Chain A
């Protein structure tokens, strides 16, 4: 007999692009998450891609994947009646999630101070670009600005190109994830003691951990790591190390890295396909047999130590390139891994949709979209809990739950706007 991890928890969510994913995680885990939206919805409802009907706030795929398992009500927060309704609704909740610019909700009587006075056990989580306090807290924010100020853009891209973002609004996602954690910590504390509190998440802070070693490198060695493009952290070009073109896409090879089989296992495979070229002849045979972790360590410590064999390394790499170019990306990945070679496919969305592992694990979930007369597949939850599994259900249409949710709050005939 399984249950829901967050059963009995009611959350009122005033979120758009920054905080939606956090609310989704809690909703998928079993909390009742009621999303309060203005007429027409906020930006995420208007964000492409759309399913069939561009501009229809009920069919944004970007909205859907960040808002599964929630309910939606529409309330005009600029009207007195709307503010009264939203306040009454928030006071029925264990937690509030919001991502408006700081000050927006308090100006409407929906800030943390006002609500916590009326309900001291309330957990009130704000997820914004720069948080609630500090000299930049009122800065205008979009996801890219979070990725810029949080330090991950400076590491991404080729030195000849502008620094670039990581796909998927990752500053927002990082804020959402930390918002979900902060909310759960607040709820655990409130359930134990009756004491609520505010939780303040800055997207800039939240994304910073993703700088990898860059922060510590500055702190300890006063060196700034910068974007190094395809070269990564390796100072010279090494065979079977980096991005390789296949017939229909790309794979990444890390054959000399400290996991899996070393380079000769790749030569075996090339030989089976008649593509080993002169790798069985000297000097290539000896060099090939030494392309392992020790070699890599030597290159990292002293790039000039391999300068004398640079032409040979290039020749070997050319043969690897030619070999990879005869295989499909999926074959290079799956057969390479079968041979214990460290190979990763550069998956496209199609590759992910067809990914052998994800399909075998039945990760994608088909949801009935009855208002569209169809069934559509969604990405599943990020984790599997044996006793209280996360489960996704259909994202709500705009204002879909106005009747059910608002009727009890004395909204009467006026309840909800569309």
Chain B
């Protein structure tokens, strides 16, 4: 493995579930040594989550090490078990923070207070620490203790109101969307910027990422539109202000697409309307007065979409995508996971997914880093750790505890 860009940086990862651990995952991919602190006293629910790897007979594997949900967000990390509900556990935690460059958490302010992990305390332990706190509503303010997780955050930040078809209530987008890219990548951006600042000044600092602020930041247009003009945008399905048609259109069903046989192609045009008509073998539509200009198509969008949807229905989705792309029309199959992992030749060639051999799940796919650095590329050094797999190693190599001290901590149930 070539040298990765964050080698030599150590991260004390006191996070759980999605948004926090994925930030640590990105840092791990790019070479940081990430110590994920976990405990049976407050187990990360994803360790017990689905999908679980399967036994040869098709039944679910059991235990805390077989969840793809957890594993995919924790690759290459060291797992240390530490009970932070105890004072002694907190002291060990401080030792880790003292030996680390970065600290990361997405626990609520209430838990941070209970575990005495506030920044003032951390800065006395290690003034150079870059400490990132990423709870849902931030560390302060009247809603700081509001309950929630990604499924609650999605509506609260406006994603549900702004996404989807207008005839439906705001039912959301099918996932806890903000957890997976938006919040972790914002967190890492701030941590890397703080690392550069520390390189230049020697100073650590506190980063606070209120997830509500982080997500509203990427929905800025709709919010700014209201702030600046009073205009309220709402969901418009797949329609777009600059293009018509712009949407997902149904193609021929595909029985080989497991559990997901309906096939769709997403496409959008403005100037390329005549080319679209050509490919769909209806050149006469290009001069139809209802559709001849962009403005006319916008005015007749229902009819336009119905017609295009009728014309795409006989096409195999992949064939239609290729025929449209050959004419320079932006078009893509609405791919399901099977398409992306097993069929998409482009994804395979670029190697975004990294396949790693895990002692309990067997070989499994992991999301990699999406920034391909030519000379210092990232890669996971190992699969996700088993729960507590590195407890002894971290205590010994990083914290410098003696074997006797470690044995005592084990006996006192601090390292659980």
Contacts and interface: CB of A to CB of B under 8 A. Distances in A.
A228 B268 CA distance: 25
Contact of A342 (B148, B169, B175, B185): B148
Contacts of A142: 243, 246, 268, 330
B274 interface: no
Given A147-B266, A158-B165, A229-B168, A337 B146 contact: yes
Interface in B111-169: 119, 137-138, 140-144, 146-149, 151-165, 168-169
Interface in A359-373: 360-361, 363-364
A18 to B, nearest CB: 12
Given A200-B374, A208-B370, A352-B216, 14 more contacts: A49-B233, A157-B174, A162-B165, A166-B177, A212-B175, A216-B51, A227-B174, A344-B155, A349-B232, A357-B212, A376-B224, A383-B187, A383-B213, A390-B190
Given A181-B192, A377-B228, A202 B370 contact: yes
A219 interface: yes
Interface in A153-168: 153-158, 161-168
A259 B240 contact: no
Interface string A211-226: 1111111111111111
A383 to B, nearest CB: 4
Contact of B341 (A195, A219, A221): A219
Contacts of B330: 139-142, 144-145
A232 to B, nearest CB: 7
B189 A177 contact: yes
B218 A217 contact: no
Given A162-B248, A210-B180, A347 B156 contact: yes
Contacts of A125: 371
A131 B111 CA distance: 41
A227 B170 CA distance: 14
B159 A166 contact: yes
B386 to A, nearest CB: 17
Contacts of B69: 213, 216
Interface stretch (A57-65, A70-78, A271-279, A281-289): A57-65
Given A158-B168, A346-B160, A361 B138 contact: yes
Interface stretch (B87-95, B201-209, B283-291, B399-407): B201-209
10 contacts: A140-B328, A146-B332, A149-B340, A162-B238, A174-B185, A212-B179, A219-B337, A220-B51, A225-B336, A344-B148
Interface string B309-336: 0000000000000000100111111111
Interface stretch (A103-111, A185-193, A308-316): A185-193
Nearest to B337: A218
Interface stretch (B77-85, B96-104, B346-354, B388-396): B346-354
A47 B241 contact: yes
A3 B264 CA distance: 50
Contacts of A357: 137-138, 141-144, 146, 210, 212
A6 interface: yes
B152 A215 contact: no
A145 B337 contact: no
Contacts of A361: 138, 140-141, 210, 213
B182 interface: yes
A300 to B, nearest CB: 9
A27 to B, nearest CB: 12
A364 B216 CA distance: 11
A136 B346 contact: yes
Contacts of B367: 208-209, 215
B242 interface: yes
Interface stretch (B33-41, B254-262, B408-416): B254-262
Contact of B338 (A209, A224, A384): A224
A43 B150 CA distance: 32
A173 interface: yes
B53 A66 contact: no
A380 interface: yes
Give the top 7 A-B pairs by smallest Cβ distance, nearest first: A182-B371, A216-B68, A65-B220, A218-B337, A167-B162, A155-B174, A387-B205
B313 to A, nearest CB: 12
Contacts of A51: 228-229
Contacts of B216: 352, 358, 363, 379
Interface of B is mostly: mixed
A215 B365 CA distance: 8
Nearest to A2: B205
Which of A179, A192, A358 counts the most chain B CB atoms within 10 A? A358
Contacts of A243: 155, 160, 169-172
B142 A356 contact: yes
Contacts of A350: 226, 232
A383 B186 contact: yes
Contact of B350 (A65, A131, A157, A211): A131
B24 to A, nearest CB: 13
A25 interface: yes
A185 B331 CA distance: 32
A61 B221 contact: yes
A19 interface: no
B372 interface: yes
Contact of A348 (B148, B232, B241, B374): B232
A156 B232 CA distance: 23
Contacts of B227: 353, 364, 376-378
A170 B51 CA distance: 25
A206 interface: yes
A39 to B, nearest CB: 19
B6 interface: yes
B51 A217 contact: yes
A140 B329 CA distance: 6
B260 A154 contact: yes
A384 B185 CA distance: 14
A270 interface: no
A219 B364 contact: yes
A321 to B, nearest CB: 12
A154 B376 CA distance: 34
Contact of B374 (A199, A201, A207, A213): A199
B109 interface: no
Contact of A162 (B149, B250, B335, B344): B250
A164 B371 contact: no
A144 B266 contact: yes
Interface string B242-282: 11001111100000011110001111100000000000000
B186 to A, nearest CB: 5
A166 B143 contact: no
B222 interface: yes
A2 B241 CA distance: 42
A151 interface: yes
